[in-house]
């Protein structure tokens, strides 16, 4: 079985964010990690590899420094890493990103493609389903369990108040929730090997069956009109009183606002 896991290097949003003048994110200026949902997807792939035997390829699109997450994935047990990087691919929205990744995936053999549900920088959850559409594959989003049965994948698909057990013939694309599992750590030997491992690097010309009109900033249907730091709601009153006075204060406010 061949599994391709799409991973994204994301800024660790705990550290604050920085922008380019055109409103897109200045990814070079921030701490970077492997997106948590993607890491859960990778772990799911590695467990399928442990159980059934599989070749696991990790694919990412980003700046050259995104090869760091490929090496991390290989240190965890992935077999191959492919980095798609090219200046003409920068500034892509989810449409242009999914077009790019689909162009890379058309060069690869796969039974199963796993992506994270969503990335913590954009939180859109769009790229996985969009890739499946470009490749004409069935998609199962929000997976909380993934099993293989013969030539099919059986997935527990989470909804708000229920889950569906879904069965799809492979090839198929599944998007993983971070609740799916607890990703393993890199092994010392794995880190050593991953450091020396060869990463395949592809540019625009290595993408198959994609039109320039659907790539990068110019090929993105959505355009940023404005980006800014969030303006938080202004602070109201703040008091420091003893317990009885605090209670009297709250009661007063609740009465004043006709809550009680």
Partner 1 sequence: MGLEEYKGVYVFAQQVDNELSGIAFELLGKAKELAGDLNTDVTAVLIGSGVKGLADQLAEYGADKVIVVDDPELKEYRTEPYAHALSSVINEYKPEIVLVGATAIGRDLGPRVSARVATGLTADCTVLEIGDFPLNPIPGQEQKHNQLLMTRPAFGGNTIATIACPDNRPQMATVRPGVMQKREPVAGAKAEVIDYNPGFTPDHKYVEIVDIVKELSDTVDIMDAKILVSGGRGVGSPENFKILEDLAAAIGGTVSCSRAVVDSGWKPKELQVGQTGKTVRPNVYFAIGISGAIQHTAGMEESDIIVAINKDSNAPIFDVADYGIVGDLNKIVPKLTEELKKVVK
Supply the minimum distance, in Å, between the C-beta of residue 204 and partner 1: 20
Supply the minimum distance, in Å, between the C-beta of residue 260 and partner 1: 6
Supply the minimum distance, in Å, between the C-beta of residue 84 and partner 1: 18
Nearer to partner 1, 129 or 197 (CB): 129
The residue among 105, 104, 134, 66 whose CA lies nearest residue 203 is: 104
Supply the minimum distance, in Å, between the C-beta of residue 78 and partner 1: 25
* Residue pair 14/123 in contact by the 8 Å Cβ criterion: no
Sheet holding 80-84, edge to edge: 152-158, 139-149, 172-176, 112-116, 2-6, 55-61, 80-84, 200-202
Let me know if 189 is exposed, middle or buried by CB neighbors in 10 A (0-12, 13-18, 19+).
exposed
Dist CA 237 CA 207 (whole Å):
57
Nearer to partner 1, 75 or 112 (CB): 112
Supply the minimum distance, in Å, between the C-beta of residue 189 and partner 1: 31
Dist CA 97 CA 205 (whole Å):
15
Supply the minimum distance, in Å, between the C-beta of residue 178 and partner 1: 9
Dist CA 135 CA 141 (whole Å):
16
Dist CA 133 CA 1 (whole Å):
22
Dist CA 97 CA 85 (whole Å):
11
CB atoms within 10 A of CB 160: 4
Nearer to partner 1, 16 or 64 (CB): 16
216: Cβ contacts below 8 Å, ≥ 6 apart: 88, 89, 90, 91, 92, 96
Nearer to partner 1, 26 or 50 (CB): 26
Q: How many residues does the chain have?
A: 260
């Amino acid at each position: 079985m061949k599994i391709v896991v799409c991973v994204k290097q994301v800024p660790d949003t705990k550290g604050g964010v920085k922008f380019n003048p055109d409103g897109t994110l200045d990814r070079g200026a921030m701490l970077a990690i492997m997106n948590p949902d993607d890491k859960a997807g990778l772990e799911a792939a590695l467990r399928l590899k442990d159980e059934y035997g599989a070749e696991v390829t990790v694919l990412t699109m980003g700046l050259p420094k995104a090869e760091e997450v490929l090496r991390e994935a290989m240190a965890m047990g992935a077999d191959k890493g492919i980095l798609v990087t090219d200046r003409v691919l920068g500034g892509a929205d989810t449409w242009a990103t999914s077009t790019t990744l689909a162009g890379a995936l058309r060069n690869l053999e796969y039974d199963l493609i796993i992506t994270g549900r969503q990335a913590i920088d954009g939180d859109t959850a769009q790229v996985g389903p969009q890739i499946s559409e470009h490749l004409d594959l069935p998609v199962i989003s929000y997976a909380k369990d993934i099993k293989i049965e013969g030539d099919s994948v059986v997935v527990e698909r989470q909804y708000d108040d229920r889950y569906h057990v879904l069965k799809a013939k492979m090839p198929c694309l599944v998007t993983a929730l971070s609740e799916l599992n607890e990703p393993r750590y890199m092994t010392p030997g794995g880190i050593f090997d991953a450091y020396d491992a060869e990463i395949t690097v592809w540019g625009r010309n290595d993408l198959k069956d994609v039109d320039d009109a659907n790539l990068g900033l110019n090929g993105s249907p959505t355009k940023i009109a404005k980006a800014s730091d969030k303006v938080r709601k202004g602070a109201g009153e703040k008091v420091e009183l003893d317990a009885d006075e605090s209670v009297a204060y709250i009661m007063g406010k609740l009465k004043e606002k006709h809550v009680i």
